[in-house]
């Protein structure tokens, strides 16, 4: 088997037959290795993101399926929708330069980065406000617990 580039790893498995002697992994092994549920893998298959080979009712995943799952999980981790992930992966052409795919990935990534930075700014503001409020409440508690002790001593 030849080593594949990241772009080739994202290839649409519908178009590419398994290589002779390729190693297959069952759904349970795949789920355990990547920390996902069986239901998640079946869901990704239903959405056309993964296309495992079948031996009866047994799903068998290839190295390419593993690469696609890694890309799906990375996309989800950084906040892309499954639709976005599928759109980017479906643009892969094993015989082309994939410039359209790369441009789309860069465009979507730039927009997602801007959204995440905006969310971070909002979260930073919320943390600041909450910290100030907690300081005020702590001070009020100190004053109110000290006051009864002072009047009891007098």
User: Residue 83: pLDDT band by 50, 70, 90 thresholds?
Assistant: very high
Residues facing residue 141 across a β-bridge: none
Pairwise CA distance, residues 48 & 88, whole Å: 13
Give the DSSP letter string of 101-116.
HHHHHHHHHHHHHHHH
Residues facing residue 60 across a β-bridge: 26, 53
Residue-wise pLDDT for 21-73, tens only, equals: 678 999 999 999 999 999 999 999 999 999 999 999 999 999 999 999 999 99
73 CB-near residues (< 8 Å, 6+ apart):
34, 36
Q: What percent of the chain has pLDDT over 90?
A: 77
Nearest by Cα to 5 from 67, 90, 49: 67
More confident residue, 65 or 154: 65
């Amino acid at each position: 088997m030849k080593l594949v580039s990241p772009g080739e790893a994202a290839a649409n498995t519908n178009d590419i037959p398994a290589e002779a002697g390729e190693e297959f992994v069952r759904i349970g092994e795949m789920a355990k290795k990547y920390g996902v549920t069986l239901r998640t893998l079946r869901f990704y298959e239903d959405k056309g993101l993964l296309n495992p080979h079948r031996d009866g009712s047994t799903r068998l995943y290839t190295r390419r399926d593993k690469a696609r799952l890694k890309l799906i999980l990375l996309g989800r981790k950084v906040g892309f929708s499954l639709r976005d992930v599928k759109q980017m992966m479906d643009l892969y052409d094993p015989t082309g330069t994939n410039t359209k795919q790369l441009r789309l990935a860069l465009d979507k990534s730039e927009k997602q980065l801007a959204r995440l930075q905006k969310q971070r700014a909002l979260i930073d503001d919320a943390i600041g406000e909450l910290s100030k409020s907690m300081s005020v409440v702590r001070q009020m508690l100190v004053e109110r617990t000290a006051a009864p002790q002072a009047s009891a001593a007098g």
